Amino acid sequence: MDKRKAVASRRWAPTSWQCVLATLCFLVIAHCPILRAQAPGPESEPKSAPPSALPSRVDPKAQELLDQTIGALGGPAFLQAKSQTTRGRIFAISEGVTAGFAPFESTVEFPDKRRFSYGKDKPVILFNDGERGWELDRYGLIGQPAEQIRRWRIATRYGYEGLLRQLIHEPGVLAQAGGSDFIDNLPVRIVEITDAQQVHVKLFVHAVKHLPVRIDYRLPNPQTGEWEEFAEVYGDFRDFQGIQTPMHVTRYLNGDRYSEVYRNSAEYNTAHPANYFTPGG
């Protein structure tokens, strides 16, 4: 085996760090056992509603809940934030057991740019800029698999930040109050949202504090056609620059917990060069 093949072999051999990469809780949203390289199809990536879509229909009670949630998160400070940088540790979980963990630093420029590094001595860096994605490690630069990019874009669109900043204002959105319930012994009120692509989302907000507690949504896998059910659970909110930020985020796929993020710091609106979110920036 020549040197180039040896490097490629080391690069693609599954390791605990690759499992961490594949299950990055807050920003990667790719699951090791189901990671597939494929060309994006019509259902493989979320898209904004076309201009000709039906107008939004938001029930007054749902609008009240959404307004209360945005206000609890920081109101104008939350809505007008341009970027977010967080640091902490990320844990990958397999069959209920921690499979790997790593320190991380994540910078997101809303709505869809990211620079994410994880590891200690020679960290791996992930870059995302809309539909484009790259990975830089000790062996060099490669493109992210299409499925990994797809999952990043899904999480960006349907997580609470994308949902409240952008999605609920798109044409063709239907939002209705969904009653009350309990999540992890917390009283919650529910907003049910359907976007122009007919993706159904449930937003659970704390009945008293009005902060997001959980988001559920489901999408078809473009390769198998089977439905995949996603969930994000938020906890330990703290105030940074007037914005309430969850320091603990847990992600589920088809009912199985597969990653958790524990943040220890957060900052908003830090200036970055224009090429910061592409390799070489």
Q: Domains for the chain: give ranges and CATH numbers.
A: 3-37+45-268 (2.50.20.10)
What is the average per-residue pLDDT within 63-82?
97
Distance in angstroms between the alpha carbons of the first and the last residue of the chain: 34
CB 107 within 8 A of CB 115: yes
CB 128 within 8 A of CB 112: yes
Helix (H) or strand (E) holding 211: none
pTM: 0.81
Choice among 47-56, 60-69, 115-124 with the minimum mean pLDDT: 47-56
Instruction: Please give the Cα distance from 142 to 273 (Å, whole number).
Output: 22
pLDDT tens digits, 98-125: 778 899 999 999 999 999 999 988 899 9
Alpha helices in the chain (DSSP H): 3-12, 16-22, 60-73, 76-79, 146-158, 160-165
